[in-house]
Amino acid sequence: MKIVITGGLGFLGKRLFNTILKGKFLIDSSGNKRAVSEIVLFDVVDAPKIDDDRVTYISGDISDPSQVDNLITDGVESIFHLAAIVSADAEENFDLGMRINLDGTRNVLEAARRLENLPKVIFTSSIATYGGELPKTVVDATKQAPQTSYGVAKVAGELLVHDYSRKGFIDGRSLRLPTISVRTGLPNKAASTWASSIIREPLSGKDVICPVTKDSYMACMSPKKIIEAFIHAHNLPVESFSEGRSLLLTGISVSAGEMAEAVERHKGNRSIGKIKWEHNPDIQKIVDGWPKATFSERAEKMGFSKDENIDDIVRAFIEDDLDTQISLYGTN
């Protein structure tokens, strides 16, 4: 079985292909359990060193239709479309954001449409598709009303995935992801990056600036649960998505202050970095427009698992990723 992962060298892309390489099976469009024999990664960075013959890397631009056509060719059975420009970047640079987040998605869908087989396409959407006057907890029936260009492009992507599926061009499934915490790596320009750095940096012995107030809440989900969701969504039969091709995922509601307290509870004998609270009104405005909590009864009925609390998320980061993060900084 051959699959493509766009954004394959991003945080989630790397976790996804490594999880699949460790033996996770995928179910094809005929309902058969299959081992993955080839993974093609597509991203904009230089070629990495990956010591596995099943992995091929292609560097390119998702907004270039010809490059995407050369990426998604006959023999590809599944596509995980993770490539995107993050929220604050897309807000600052409208043209770039739309070119990558909207045009890039259309390019992927058009290339998938031309395949001889019916490919599965997993599209990563976001809770940034909600906004305005929101209930305390966003649920399946909550209306989408994005307040950012990033959110608008994600709504458009969901609608395209639904329509291409309706027309029988692809078998698409869109997942609305809560904020991911904790991401390894360095801070990026996403408005939500603080939800990882406020945990990641102090535990790595680094000081960090938090741009929002302590009572700023986010709906969060751990990387582990998100990767499980990608694979589970892929493997579900198409009948599971009869109510619609887009699915909200459940995220726990946690404030910046509660994240800081969890770091303190789990620091052990470590000398942790300091959290500096320096308010950024632009970031605060974006964050305030996002859901504070999400709950999907539909996702629960479909068998998607969720995190229980912030302590579980922090413990998982310490056990699975902290050593990697510390080595990234070159600290002891």
How confident is the model over 244-273, as a mean pLDDT?
96
pLDDT at residue 186 tops 90: no
Query: CA separation (Å) from 312 to 159, 195, 258?
Result: 34, 15, 13
User: Average pLDDT of 59-81?
Assistant: 97
Convert the pLDDT of each residue in 152-168 to its tens digit: 999 999 999 999 999 99
Model confidence, pTM: 0.91
CB 31 within 8 A of CB 239: no
| pLDDT recorded at residue 191 | 81
Arithmetic mean of pLDDT over the chain: 94
Indicate which residues carry an active-site annotation.
150
Give yes or no for residue 222 having a pLDDT over 70. yes
User: Residue 108 to residues 66, 119, 207, 221: CA-CA distances in angstroms?
Assistant: 11, 11, 40, 26
Mean pLDDT in residue range 266-271: 92
Q: Residue 226: pLDDT above 50?
A: yes
Give the separation between CA 291 and CA 251, rounded to whole angstroms: 10
Q: Quick one: what percent of the chain has pLDDT higher than 90?
A: 84
Q: With 70 as the cut, is the pLDDT of residue 22 above it?
A: yes
Distance CA 163, CA 166 (A): 5
Q: What is the pLDDT of residue 332?
A: 43
Residue bearing the bigger pLDDT, 119 or 191: 119
Residue 91 and residue 97: Cα distance in Å, rounded? 7
Contact 44, 8 (CB under 8 A): no
Place of tokens 């699949």: 20
Architecture of domain 2-329: 3-Layer(aba) Sandwich (3.40)
Task: Look at residue 328 and tell me whether its pLDDT is greater than 90.
Answer: no
Taking 70 as the threshold, does the pLDDT of residue 74 lie above it?
yes
Distances from the Cα of 192 to the Cα of 115, 189, 254, 290, angstroms: 36, 8, 13, 10
pLDDT at 51 over 90: no
Q: Quote the pLDDT of residue 330.
A: 73
